[in-house]
Structure 1
């Protein structure tokens, strides 16, 4: 049996000692979190509960995991979800090539010694831990130590099949993965788990009940301007304000792909790189590729003089 440790004892978790400390530490990493999000991150760490982050694309869900990993001092392990994702890509798999080579070695040794190979002995040899390939979920369970707590990012879980939700239940309930041929592998220190969803499908209620929850809304203009100042500090304040205002106008016009804060950051960086000082300048149109990601949107807004 694996001895379980209090995750709060892991190195780096001192900065997660309170919601206020979390908010301050995230800000030092360039991530501006509202008090309710800071509280959710604190509780996810203290209660060892996954944090389910839902909201539109580009509002900071994925980047939260990277910022938290910088705080805990552990690795950021990312599982990008997609249709058809299964346990062999998410949890574990067996190294069949190495197993075949091992079988041949055992057969050669048995032949040289003149003794038969027992089926039980062969099965035990083939299902040794050295042949088990850890995929992102198992990597995260084994990577959290007292020197640094791993952060597991399960990104865009809504893109995976419904069946994948069930695969996660054991992991998120017991912090363990059961390998039928080997046994159960349990984390000594549970990782900090961040799940993100753009709500393209509804997640199972059983999975939701195991998680803390935070809804990521598009930040208001003041908050978005503060984010831009934090992420692109070399930009001029007047240009930041203009980008935020123009991004808000684009969203209100109902484009096919509304720009998130991630796109406004990219847009501001692109404008700064081009040396643009006034957003209405014709040169600003060259940076629209950073904010408009749909052909119809480009045709609709690309020729607007205000862009």
Structure 2
């Protein structure tokens, strides 16, 4: 890990930090990220899957030389998985060893087995133990996958940046972590939590911005191929699919086509590689039945007219 860097001091500097890490952001995102850093407020990012919400936290941690601590949310996530738990196996061994020695001091034994030595720090507790000037980036990813009970628990964490371990007492952050929360909006997050955050909707990028992303992430892709891929995906997002492709899929598709030494799209190549772009059979079948050829013809015509 490199030496931690101070937070950007302006919107332009924030935009430069993101661009320097090959994250192509618009000014609105750079603005809310800058304000989040200046105000020490969590940043709540909402949007469809695959638009780059998680990547923002990764880029920020890398650019600022901070640890990235990720809490991947899922249904049934509880305190022991998210905050801390005790190493029960090691505690039992310690108890047996003390009992075998014959010197059993109940009070001393309890103090010993419930010490930091046997504490397993999960992401929340890890995020609260950063030093001043080196607070980690704490990514709470896909919060909408958890239940409301865990969401309520987070309110205390985000309000006071502290957590109580009954056997040890209250552990408070020396410096609050940089908190990024993402959600794919599969359910609504409670207003009480949103009020503690700054909010930004991460939308699909424009064609120009997506082309810049592809060129940065897949620099070996042929120029014509990159343009055709981006225009094709942009048009796909305009039709009624079960799951339209995100930016991550666009990058993967461009990378896969480059691995196949393709320099332009054709119907056969689209049919052979569509599984990189679309992940539901009904969507793939629709493209294979003629929708893909129609879109490709439109893309070719537009690019020819622009030349």
- Tell me the TM-score normalized by structure 1: 0.90
d(CA) in 2 for partners of 1:275, 1:288: 16
State the partner residue of 1:217: 203
RMSD: 1.7
2:174 corresponds, among 185, 188, 199, to 188
CA shift, 1:285, in A, is: 2.7
d(CA) in 1 for partners of 2:39, 2:235: 41
Whether the 8 Å contact between 1:72 and 1:149 is mirrored in structure 2 is no
Cα 1:144–1:198 shift into 2, 3 Å = farther
Tell which deviates more after alignment, 137-146 or 263-272.
137-146
Does the residue aligned with 1:194 lie in a helix, a strand or coil?
strand
d(CA) in 1 for partners of 2:80, 2:206: 41
Aligned residues: 291
Does the residue aligned with 2:237 lie in a helix, a strand or coil?
helix
CA shift, 1:62, in A, is: 0.6
d(CA) in 1 for partners of 2:186, 2:269: 36
State the partner residue of 2:264: 278
1:168 aligns with 2:160: no
CA shift, 1:11, in A, is: 2.7
Q: How does 1:94-109 map to 2 (within 5 A)?
A: 94-109=86-101
Whether the 8 Å contact between 1:229 and 1:235 is mirrored in structure 2 is yes
Unaligned runs of 5+ in 1: 1-9
Whether the 8 Å contact between 1:81 and 1:160 is mirrored in structure 2 is yes
Tell which deviates more after alignment, 277-286 or 21-30.
277-286
1:83 aligns with 2:75: yes
Q: How does 1:76-155 map to 2 (within 5 A)?
A: 76-109=68-101, 111=102, 113=103, 117-118=105-106, 120-146=107-133, 148-155=134-141
CA shift, 1:41, in A, is: 1.4
d(CA) in 2 for partners of 1:104, 1:151: 40
